[in-house]
Copies of this chain bind each other. A is one copy, B any other.
């Protein structure tokens, strides 16, 4: 990853966010990045406060409904220090999918007539068969994709449980693909469930084994998002403004030398509790 790269982040909002990779990106003190993510959460605030991003391309940015509109986002966007380029959720999904399919655009019926059309420079075209107007959603080919998955083998074949978000399309669209995984499995394990593989190994440039690599965000079936932590985080921002995030980064990103040290800040009890909650929610069927 280099300064100025166009970086797509997998997962969605506080689900399966590759936070271990975001932490690494912060520690490398990258600058001038463009961040593309369908719904942007704390990781977007981190990168804003760290001065790493110039532009965020997204459909929505805040932590989550109960915590209201992101004060950090408002501070950086209203002051013009970071540009927020808004696309509809489907349009952003189709931008990744067009990239994944290797075509320069995909036709769609969304965003038409809205003022969002003017923000990112979306064009329209006429269907060559009927003459109807369609949105021409432009492909997005990120320089780098950072993703977190449930399991992967030594060849880089990745499997994801539960809702897949946009990771499969992002991996196909990006030039370089960096993946962290909850679990490393054998070649045989992949071959026992080939219909569960969503990213083939030939797309993956680097793979690292990082259990809890999305924490305190969630990983389907493994651990629930730590809403208490979000509450403490936003309370600190309510009290002190964006500098609270700078303090947070000191404590969680720059301070702990390893990801294990980072997880120790949450403590084993917290991880166990969130694991238990995830099992309750997904084992209930």
Contact = CB atoms under 8 A, between A and B. Distances in A.
This chain: how many copies in the complex? 2
Contacts of A162: 194-195
Contact of A128 (B125, B163, B285): B125
A127 interface: yes
Contacts of A192: 285
Interface of A: 102-109, 123-125, 127-130, 132, 134, 136, 138, 161-164, 188, 191-192, 194-195, 285
Contacts of A194: 162, 285
A142 B271 CA distance: 50
A104 B134 contact: yes
Contact of A108 (B103, B125, B285): B103
A108 B163 CA distance: 28
A123 B285 CA distance: 48
Contacts of A102: 109
A201 to B, nearest CB: 16
Contact of A105 (B107, B191, B195): B107
